[in-house]
A and B are shown apart, each in its own frame.
Chain A
Amino acid sequence: MARATNDLKAISLTAGFGILTLVDAVLFTITVVVMMGATISWQLTIAAVLPLPIMAVMMQIYVKKIYKRFTDAQAAFGTLNDKVLESISGVRVIRAYVQERADEKRFKEMTEDVYRKNLAVARIDALFDPTISIIIGISYLIGLGYGAYLVFQQAITLGGLVSFNVYLGMLIWPMIAVGELINVMQRGNASLDRVQDTLSYEADVKNSMGLESITNPGNIHFNSVHFTYPSSTVVNLSDISVQLERGQTLGIVGKTGSGKTTFVKQLLREYPLGTGEIAFAGMPLEQLHLEDIRKWIGYVPQDHFLFSKTVRENILFGKMDATEDELAEAIRLADFEKDLMMLPNRLETLVGEKGVALSGGQKQRISIARALIKNPEILILDDSLSAVDAKTETTIIENIQNERAGKRPSSQPTAYRPFSTRTGLSCWTAERSSKRGLTRIYWKMMAGIGSNMNDSRLTKGRR
């Protein structure tokens, strides 16, 4: 986030102001130096600009020191930022546990840390101008002193001496500008490095060569799939084998952290594939167009994320060119009709960060409507009804089952979250009557999980 804004700003400053200043200062300096040398005296010119390389060396030393301190200060500021974000997001927890004072104390310690680190930067930063002043002062002294000597030696005229010092005065500005430039460049460099980091990051998942196109996903096949997240130290999925026919439904249960979401994300290909084989209609996943796969899938994620747009736009995100009827149908299926009536501007109500505050259940149902409007080949519900009450949950499940069953009469509408394909395969049969019942089954299942799922078609290897 900061890379896209602050860092780019620093780079633009370097590229704009920096380059301009560099060219300007260098050309100007060269012109002035040549004029001084050509019209007055090369001897005097060389003597007077002699201190300038010293300045360059000093600047380099400062810059090295300031770079480290600056990075430290930025890091401290970043921590402070995170701290505030946490305190705001968790404001209810802090209030409920009367942590206001403790939190304020922690915050004060952090601002003190930021203060100290900024001061460390200031200590060096304040050296730049005085150094330039002294160096320029020395140049002036040489110009006047040695210049006077040259006048006595009858090498230059008095007028020449005066002009020389005026020229010297013209050099002050480019010198200050170059000093500033070095400072800006250093920051620009650091930022450019950070942005390059992001830009040069190869897309983890991309289309490989020689892709096949299939129009229909057909069956889905997982063959001893192993997967580890790039930053994870343990294996997240191990030896998963599943066979799903078209029209079947698959339910996955497991403890928190057992890899349910990881499993469905394999289909979305958000991460590079692990070992083993995942295939649609016998075609390995890596040989299919990424876009095709994602086109088939309607995904309702665990965290119901909505954009700062209207309800309509959020639902149409699933299918931009949907008709009003399709929109209404998706809303009906997600059991959102009644809630919609309560919203101030109905479909045009602004939601997300800038909009009205929706309850978790409302957000989830918009999120479901967004996936349903797509009428996808594969529908993934990842714990998507956690925030709605039992009755609403049943209604939605029934709606989905009826709707999808209506299209695929052969399916066996039995199974349950979090994974459902347009199919009927069920890893277990669930009582559909009440949530309580289901929950009980969940608990029973969970007891046995982590080691084995008692189903021939969904097996989870022992870890």
Chain B
Amino acid sequence: MRVVKKLFNYAALYKKLIIGALIMLALSVAADLTGPFVAKKIIDSHILGIESSWYEAGKGKDAVKYDGNWYKRADYFAKGEKKGREVHVLQVGNQFVFVNEAVPIDGRRTLEDQSLIIKKDGKEQRVQAVKLTSQEVMGFYQPEIPRIIKLVAFYFSLVILSSIFQYGQSFYLQKAANRIIQKMRNDIFTHISRLPIRYFDNMPAGKVVARVTNDTEAIRELYVTVLANFFSSTINIFGVLIALFILDPRVGTIGLLLIPIIVIWTTVYRKFASKYNHIIRERVSDINGMINESISGMSIIQAFGREKETKQSFENLNREHYSYQNKMLHLNSLTGGNLIGVIKVVALMAFVWYFGGISLTASSAISLGMMYAIVDLISRLLHPLHGIVNQFANLEQALVAGERTFSLLDEQGLAVSDENISRYKGNVQFENVSFGYKDKEYVLRDISFSAKQGETVALVGHTGSGKSSIMNLLFRFYDSSEGQIKIDGRNILDIPHQTLREHMGIVLQDPYLFTGTIASNISLDHKGITREMVEKALRDVGGTKC
């Protein structure tokens, strides 16, 4: 949880970007979910609506001429406008018929020559009906067409709007994530300069590098993919639930049942997955280490003819990795798409069962358009679920990476000092200095000597006698446990590391060179060092002949 909090704090640094992105996400989801509503409206009121009651009316707006008379749909009559005789336009199969009287619009319809038979609740009603030609049907739809076009245009603009927000959301979230990671990397790198040299003694360089780059990359994944998926899925799920409630509270309630299902699912999945993930990650790190080592030590492996043995031990690691990866796959397959499929089918079944037996027409308990909207929404409900479950592995990985990164940041460090002091004379004095890299294992014991300004002091001794350790102490790479080291009478513990080192030059035992030119390695890109100085230094060590 500590990790989560820290990750959250980092995210808070760019909260404007993130909140902006999330608002856009919410808007995009909202626009997206309006789609089914619009479709429902088109189907119910404008396509199916033709089956509602028509009345004879005068010529005018929304009135349709058929067989010499004008008719208008019930909903288009203005208040108080006089209605004439009721008629109906009904569809039987593909065929539309005109019925010159009031009839119930639900029930099973069959067409026999000139008469329409409507069966309902065991009763049968037979009425006169006239088959309509396509042209005549179009005539009846005439008032609907501008309305449909308007809705379609509305729908399309929603799609465009949703897409724009979607783009904005995705881009800004990535932007924020990249900024966060950049900040995090800079922080870690800066922190590395603060860590004592001791930290690097038992820490392979590769591991520290992994903290700065690979682990942060995994965290980036968290902000970009995991966060986006979680948010969009959650907003989607809630959006769909709200939409379901608006359409039909009963269906909405059924939808609510999904929430406990998600919770149980999540818990069970995480329980198994985290175990497997843990082992897989360990194996991956072993494999990485082994590959790294085999590459660096390839000449040794070849020189000693150990290719086969090396391959064998790699094979073992690889096989173990494979077996756990397989278990993970089984788990994922079991809980992933298939389970979603099952839940979806169950949800649809429940829906059909609940409204079972009720014939689906415009006036029945649930309209055709409603049916369409609900089916559409239920499908939309389950994909976000899948999205969430899919991200668990990533989430876990990011959390572990975060833990490692933050543990590095939590290492005790010392601020890099920018203080300058004027050049000291250089009277170095060691007074009863004792020091050991590990507790109780002294490398230096009670060392006292002094080196005055202008003197040259040589230290002699065999391997491991502590020559380098004395230098390490003088440079404050390590600090002595007992005794004092003084420069010009001032205890070096009172001088910040950087300030102290500024006036010292050392040629280390391990001649480390950075990528760059010879000149950049000599000057270390120090502004005060000119080309001439570099060349002179090189001449002085006889390096010009190379």
The chain A residues found within 8 Å of chain B, CB to CB, are: 1, 4-5, 16, 77, 80-82, 84-104, 107-108, 111-112, 114-115, 118-119, 122-123, 125-127, 129-131, 133-134, 137-138, 140-141, 144-145, 148, 151-159, 161-162, 165-166, 169-170, 173, 257, 268, 270, 291, 294-295, 297, 299, 301, 305, 307-308, 317-318, 320, 339, 352-354, 356-357, 359-361, 370, 374, 387-392
Contacts and interface: CB of A to CB of B under 8 A. Distances in A.
A145 B134 contact: no
B7 interface: no
Contacts, number: 262
Nearest to A16: B329
B162 to A, nearest CB: 6
A130 B164 CA distance: 7
Nearest to A359: B464
Contacts of B46: 148
A307 B313 CA distance: 13
Contacts of B299: 268, 270, 301, 305
B205 A88 contact: yes
Contact of B515 (A82, A114, A299, A360): A82
A80 B48 CA distance: 63
A278 to B, nearest CB: 16
A118 B305 contact: no
Contact of A295 (B193, B305, B501, B524): B305
B394 interface: no
A161 B369 CA distance: 10
A119 B178 contact: yes
A257 B545 CA distance: 13
Contacts of B504: 96
Contact of A158 (B48, B162, B193): B48
Given A96-B504, A122-B178, A268-B299, 16 more contacts: A5-B291, A84-B208, A93-B508, A115-B182, A119-B174, A122-B170, A127-B167, A137-B35, A158-B368, A162-B372, A294-B305, A299-B300, A305-B299, A353-B204, A357-B201, A361-B463
B226 to A, nearest CB: 16
Contacts of A352: 293
A147 to B, nearest CB: 8
Interface string B377-394: 001000100000000000
Interface in B403-420: 416, 418
Interface in B149-205: 152, 155-156, 159-160, 162-164, 166-167, 170-171, 174-175, 178-179, 182, 185-186, 189-190, 192-193, 197, 200-202, 204-205
Contacts of B302: 268, 270, 294
Nearest to A114: B182
Contacts of B297: 305, 307
B524 A97 contact: yes
A388 B464 CA distance: 9
Given A90-B514, A111-B185, A152-B134, A126 B300 contact: no
A162 B463 contact: no
B286 to A, nearest CB: 10
A352 B204 CA distance: 9
Contacts of B323: none
Contacts of B464: 339, 359, 361
B118 interface: no
A389 B91 CA distance: 104
A104 B193 contact: yes
A299 B508 contact: no
B105 to A, nearest CB: 12
Interface stretch (B53-61, B93-101, B451-459): B93-101
Contacts of A107: 185-186, 189
Contacts of B495: none
Interface string B469-505: 0000001010000000000000000000110011011
B341 to A, nearest CB: 11
A95 B309 contact: no
B306 interface: yes
Contacts of B284: 5
B262 interface: no
Contacts of A115: 178-179, 182
A384 to B, nearest CB: 13
Chain B interface size band reads 35 or more
A233 B477 CA distance: 41
Contacts of B93: 157
B209 interface: yes
Interface string B292-319: 1101110110111110010000000000
Interface in B204-224: 204-206, 208-209, 212-213, 217
Contacts of A308: 289, 293
A95 B138 CA distance: 86
Contacts of A156: 94
A77 B185 CA distance: 12
6 contacts: A81-B213, A102-B524, A104-B186, A107-B189, A145-B152, A165-B372
B535 interface: no
Contacts of B159: 133-134, 137-138, 140
A111 B291 contact: no
B78 interface: no
A114 B178 CA distance: 9
Given A84-B213, A148-B46, A359-B464, A353 B293 contact: yes
Contacts of A125: 170, 174
A387 B463 contact: yes
Nearest to B217: A77
A122 B174 CA distance: 6
B258 interface: no
Given A91-B197, A98-B498, A102-B524, A357 B202 contact: yes
B525 interface: yes
B213 A140 contact: no
A80 B202 CA distance: 23
A158 B47 contact: yes
B421 interface: no
A1 B295 contact: yes
A162 B43 contact: yes
B299 to A, nearest CB: 6
Contacts of A112: 182
B235 interface: no
Contacts of B423: none
Contact of A104 (B190, B204, B212, B289): B190
B439 to A, nearest CB: 13
Interface string B315-331: 00000000000000100
Given A99-B524, A119-B175, A392-B462, A158 B291 contact: no
A204 to B, nearest CB: 11
Given A118-B178, A268-B303, A307-B297, A144 B39 contact: yes
Contacts of A100: 193, 416, 498
B287 interface: yes
Interface in B34-57: 35, 39, 42-43, 46-48
A389 B164 CA distance: 72
A100 B148 CA distance: 68
Contacts of A144: 39, 42-43, 152, 155
Contacts of B515: 82, 86
A398 B96 CA distance: 112
Given A129-B170, A388-B463, A145 B148 contact: yes
B124 interface: no
A154 B136 CA distance: 11
A161 B47 contact: yes
B67 to A, nearest CB: 18
A102 B525 contact: yes
A96 B174 contact: no
